[in-house]
Structure 1
């Protein structure tokens, strides 16, 4: 891997997170292409990143942007912690390692919004077959083997996981072999979690895509460099400005610039480059280059409410601490899941406003909203590169999200208090039985996010869309976006796997522009 500070490249990929690693790797497979991958964070291989159960130790560390939302009146004025990966691998280096591919209806929605069937579920299955090295029960229609991304289930799930499957079954929720096969095509179900753990160690997307290419002479990885803006000549992207050790430097791209910095930094850099809502830009003295009112709008995230039980006896933590995945419906009339339950095999403290201490030994199920109706936004606090973005999640602003929150907690309590947990659980600690008004206050006081920020530079064809079906930024030549911000709607489940697909699809589209067919560029692993 080239570490020389040449200033001129063919492609510049900004952000070495989940999607950015994929784009850079795939472009670098074209030996004639000079690729620069820029990352604000650093590389790190300590136990917090390699040991699956130590992921919480990364929160608030140098590997976390540690964003915070603005005070939210719907959460009684609370500010949400909005953690986001910073460093080689991005979120995939510090997350819970859950591999969740998105529901059929999510991808078909992407296709409908973009007007391109290549974003639909049937097409995306082809990507997953290319991407995965699935270790579980073979499923030739839906699963891949021999791809770069190792996906496996825990070899010996803990008693907590089996009790959860039994409890769900008693409630009439079907059990599946995996959350990512047939379960992602219908009304939901429960399954042992698919994880990105390989031989007991976590495997980031950087590990899967860039580490095997570390010997490439045409790939330069530049950590510790903060992208501040896109360099434009008229409405054509020609490179980026970065800050390294307090000094500004410029790098130039002959072919394309690709932004893969996530749903907070991508819109921030767009706006600070003069691309975004005119009124927002002018407020901070930024000359508008292209008025795109959707930049920073449509912010979505999965919201959750922690429900905690005390163990009779201390239990081991298996895998990454998350061994079961459950998607279900808040209303039986729905044909797709809108609830997301994520179980952690340790007791997670509730926000201080809940005023209930966690048990010394216990487990927490996050009663989550998989299809939030609330929409937030990202704005600027200033024109400078170090001016923090203003993030307004606006969580629980939509009344239907409150309705779904009650249903999600009801389901969670029905599961955790099931007889299936007899012999394992001593008592329910949080929230406990509450009448409607008290439960509403618990919801507003306990809400946290899954840190799945997305949708702030959405793909589509309306006036609020930022990129077209080929991920090209409207009105700007040679600039694309490849990260969670292009999602028109947040996917059901964790967002890492969909971001790998977005990275793969972006690479195919870029290479096609250069005259390289997808078939010729596909990697044979």
Structure 2
């Protein structure tokens, strides 16, 4: 072993020993309790633990991330429907021909950042300006958030000092040696009049959009989860306790002030006090579920399950949003290698220049990915997929309770394609996707279009309803804002409840343009900054 490997080995041993000791001598109370070790919670816990005088407890329902399917980028699909996945499934949806589509979500240290496709997508300028307008706070606007991105990034791509940062905890780089399907896609985009960029972030997300090789969280061929970048480097410290197998079951209160959490730790009930605050980073399904089971949410829904109402908040579980996509597939003339986890190029574009942000989100995958309903002998063994997606669908769903117990699953009414405008937008997105895949640039690589092909209007709409799948970007179910459906204020504090904040994708007023990992990191950074300022730490 070289010195770096020895140091890593020594540090890993120190982490294991420290965390075993902390788990064996759990305190009754901590300064801060962070619930959920995903892309936001990992940031909050790590930033608070920077102060050695602050005791932080980080609770994660899932298990350890030291498995090959997490570490190796190409193995990410192997995590789906395993113990590292909550395995959520939306309710049967009449707009999808009665289909009940999977809504996978990470249940492991790192959350989604440990099982996703590792794309770093900052969101569009208009997204963050919308956040600021809804919150009534300029600290959420694009100019402010750009400073956070510059502070946290360690950018290893073409120089862009106005927009990119170096030396931060978040290593980001363009896909290394992208495969032909990705580079040819950029040629095809240019042939359609879509500009191409060095990165899908930066300038590309300040205007009409464009096409680019993806920015990825992969270094030396290995995944970099948010947990590994933020939390793990602090796990040898005595002031940061990280518990896996810890299902947060309820908040505890003194009147309307949160005092701690009830937890099922390896199935056994435990109670932990929070001397200062509890931060919920459980994601857009489990955050509203925990709120409602703790008596915070729509009065009618709580009473339906016999849960005493502590604080009526009509928006808890409402405003559910997600990116929906439709897999268009082409057959290769000859088998092609898959690189960097399989998603190396993307395209964002406006169907109407008057829109404030791109409404098309096209994500390329270097292998065929049909929906279960569209799978069959016509799907090629060797091919590639362009997911024609909707960046800002109008459909809104909701998360409800199936019961009052912590093990009762949430009920997800995703309502995908529930708004007729989304069907029209999907048809436009698929049309553009087919133009891309059938462009002259692809002819040396592609044998034929496998699906959808040229279909009659009614058949194409039916194909859409059978092919719609999620991008796994559930969000917006405890939104930030100032209207009657808002759950948190600009400081991420839950209305009507003291010492409780939310920091995850559920606080988004609307879903961001692109993958949600990077915006969740920003949300975590904002939460940590706000908490530090409030407590002078």
**Considering the TM-score relative to the shorter chain, is it more than 0.5?**
yes
Which of 422, 431, 434 pairs up with 2:443?
422
CA contact (8 A) 1:227 1:243 kept: yes
SS at match of 1:343: strand
Aligned to 2:9: none
Aligned to 1:399: 420
Cα drift, residue 137 of structure 1: 1.0
Cα drift, residue 32 of structure 1: 0.8
CA contact (8 A) 1:308 1:347 kept: yes
CA contact (8 A) 1:69 1:80 kept: yes
Moved more, 410-419 or 342-351: 342-351
SS at match of 1:70: coil
Aligned to 1:222: 243
1:355 and 1:316 mapped to 2: Cα distance?
A: 23
Q: Does 1:113 align with 2:163?
A: no
Which of 453, 459, 463 pairs up with 1:442?
463
Which of 123, 127, 130 pairs up with 1:102?
123
CA spacing shift, 1:266–1:335, aligned 2, 3 Å:
closer
Cα drift, residue 352 of structure 1: 1.9
Q: Does 1:284 align with 2:324?
A: no
1:303 and 1:240 mapped to 2: Cα distance?
A: 34
CA contact (8 A) 1:354 1:446 kept: no
Cα drift, residue 141 of structure 1: 1.3
Q: Does 1:347 align with 2:368?
A: yes
1:346 and 1:24 mapped to 2: Cα distance?
A: 37
1:52 and 1:380 mapped to 2: Cα distance?
A: 35
Q: Does 1:196 align with 2:192?
A: no
5 Å-filtered alignment, 1:317-466, equals: 317-353=338-374, 357-466=378-487
Cα drift, residue 336 of structure 1: 2.4
Aligned to 1:47: 68
Question: Which ranges of structure 1 fall in alignment gaps of 5 or more residues?
Answer: 517-525
Cα drift, residue 212 of structure 1: 1.0
5 Å-filtered alignment, 1:495-506, equals: 495-506=516-527
CA contact (8 A) 2:43 2:525 kept: yes
Cα drift, residue 354 of structure 1: 6.2
Question: Structure 1 runs of 4+ off > 4 angstroms?
Answer: 353-356
Aligned to 1:17: 38
1:248 and 1:297 mapped to 2: Cα distance?
A: 30
Cα drift, residue 358 of structure 1: 1.8
1:11 and 1:181 mapped to 2: Cα distance?
A: 34
2:247 and 2:148 mapped to 1: Cα distance?
A: 31
CA spacing shift, 1:202–1:36, aligned 2, 3 Å:
same
Question: Which ranges of structure 2 fall in alignment gaps of 5 or more residues?
Answer: 1-17
2:349 and 2:64 mapped to 1: Cα distance?
A: 38
CA offsets 1:394-415 (integer angstroms, 9 cap, x no match): 0111111111100110011000
1:353 and 1:392 mapped to 2: Cα distance?
A: 22
Q: Does 1:268 align with 2:289?
A: yes
Q: TM-score, normalised by structure 1?
A: 0.97
SS at match of 1:367: strand
CA contact (8 A) 1:295 1:456 kept: yes
Q: Does 1:303 align with 2:303?
A: no
2:285 and 2:355 mapped to 1: Cα distance?
A: 31
1:151 and 1:353 mapped to 2: Cα distance?
A: 35
Aligned to 1:312: 333
CA offsets 1:444-480 (integer angstroms, 9 cap, x no match): 1110000000000000000110000000000000000
2:378 and 2:52 mapped to 1: Cα distance?
A: 57
Which of 474, 481, 485 pairs up with 2:502?
481
Aligned to 2:234: 213
Cα drift, residue 332 of structure 1: 4.2
5 Å-filtered alignment, 1:49-64, equals: 49-64=70-85
Cα drift, residue 353 of structure 1: 5.0
2:363 and 2:28 mapped to 1: Cα distance?
A: 45
2:66 and 2:379 mapped to 1: Cα distance?
A: 31
1:109 and 1:356 mapped to 2: Cα distance?
A: 45
Cα drift, residue 232 of structure 1: 0.9
CA contact (8 A) 2:350 2:357 kept: yes
Aligned to 1:84: 105
CA offsets 1:303-328 (integer angstroms, 9 cap, x no match): 00000000000000011111101101
CA contact (8 A) 1:345 1:362 kept: yes
Moved more, 236-245 or 343-352: 343-352
Aligned to 1:173: 194
Q: TM-score, normalised by structure 2?
A: 0.95
Aligned to 1:521: none
Cα drift, residue 355 of structure 1: 5.2
Which of 140, 144, 160 pairs up with 2:165?
144
1:263 and 1:44 mapped to 2: Cα distance?
A: 21
CA contact (8 A) 1:328 1:337 kept: yes
SS at match of 1:55: helix
Cα drift, residue 153 of structure 1: 1.0
CA offsets 1:421-442 (integer angstroms, 9 cap, x no match): 1110000001111111110000
Cα drift, residue 356 of structure 1: 5.9
Aligned to 1:68: 89
2:378 and 2:516 mapped to 1: Cα distance?
A: 30
1:95 and 1:480 mapped to 2: Cα distance?
A: 25
CA contact (8 A) 1:35 1:218 kept: yes
Aligned to 2:114: 93
CA offsets 1:374-418 (integer angstroms, 9 cap, x no match): 000000000011111000000111111111100110011000001
1:334 and 1:163 mapped to 2: Cα distance?
A: 28
